Copies of this chain bind each other. A is one copy, B any other.
Amino acid sequence: MKPLYIIKIGGNIVDDELKLSSFLQEFSAIRENKILVHGGGKLANKLAEKLGIEQKMIDGRRITDSETLKVVTMVYAGLINKNIVAQLQANGCSAIGLSGADANTILAHKRINAAHDYGFVGDIDSINSEFLNQLLENKMIIVFAPITHDKKGQLLNTNADTIAQEIAKAMSGFYHTNLIYSFEKAGVLTDVDDESSRIEEINPSYYTQLKEEKKIFAGMIPKLDNAFAALNNGVKKVIIGKAEDLTGLISGTAGTSIVNE
C-alpha cells in the first residue's frame, strides 16, 4: 500500500502568518498523498469577544452554543480553511478544503453527556473514506476544518485531533497511514523542560516502562493512549512533534514515533 500522511496542525501555527506560510511550504513539498487537518487557534475566540459572545466553559472545555457555532463555522470552515487552500494552490498543490458536511465526509452526532450539555459539539460516527480516496486518487490534497454535521441539517464543532485520528483509521484500508500530531514541544520528553530529552521511538513495552518509571509528563498520557488506540486500528505510525520541522517529522530525524512493535 502507498503511504498517506494525515497531519494535524494546531493554533500555534494557524495563528502565526509566517509560521503557517513556512509550514505550508514544507507540507507542499511532501510527494506522497496527504491530508491536512487544522484547528482553530485564537481567531475564533477573538471574533467571539469582538461580537460580545460570552465563552462559557465547563471543566476547561468550551461550550458551543448556537452563536459560538456560527463563529467557529465562519472562522474554521471559512477564513482559515480557504486561506490555507489558496496558499497551497499558490504552492502548486491541488488542494480542496472540506468540512465534514461536504460530501458527508465526517458524520457525527451531538455529544450526549448526562452531567453537562456541551452544546453543538459532535462525536464522530463515520468517515466517507471512499470519497476521500477518490480525491486522493485524483491527486487532490485535502484540507479539513474541524466542523462536522449530523446529516439532520445540524453543523457541529469537533476536536481536530479526533478528526485526524478517525480519518487516519478509516483510510488504513486504502493506505499505509502515518498520523502526525504537531504541538508546541519537540516530541515526548522525559524532562518536560529539556527539549533535548526527546524520546525517538516508543513501542508498547517501552511505554509501560516509561509510565512505571514515571518518566512521562501526565499531560502526555491521554495523547499517547490515543496514539496506541490508532495503531490498534490500522494506523501504521503516529508521530508527535513540532510543526516547524515537518520535514524532520516525516524523515524521522525529529519528533517521537509511536509504533506497535
Contact = CB atoms under 8 A, between A and B. Distances in A.
Contact of A73 (B82, B99, B101): B82
Contacts of A87: 153
Contact of A140 (B70, B82, B98, B103): B103
Interface string A96-115: 11110111100000000000
Interface residues on A, range: 35 or more
A85 B102 contact: yes
Contacts of A134: 138
Interface in A68-112: 70, 73-79, 81-83, 85-87, 89-90, 94-99, 101-104
A149 B95 CA distance: 12
Please tell me how many copies of the chain the complex holds: 2
A147 interface: yes
A211 interface: no
19 contacts: A50-B50, A73-B78, A73-B82, A74-B74, A74-B75, A74-B78, A74-B79, A77-B77, A78-B79, A82-B102, A86-B101, A94-B104, A95-B101, A95-B103, A96-B102, A96-B103, A97-B99, A97-B101, A97-B102
A116 interface: no
A90 B90 CA distance: 34
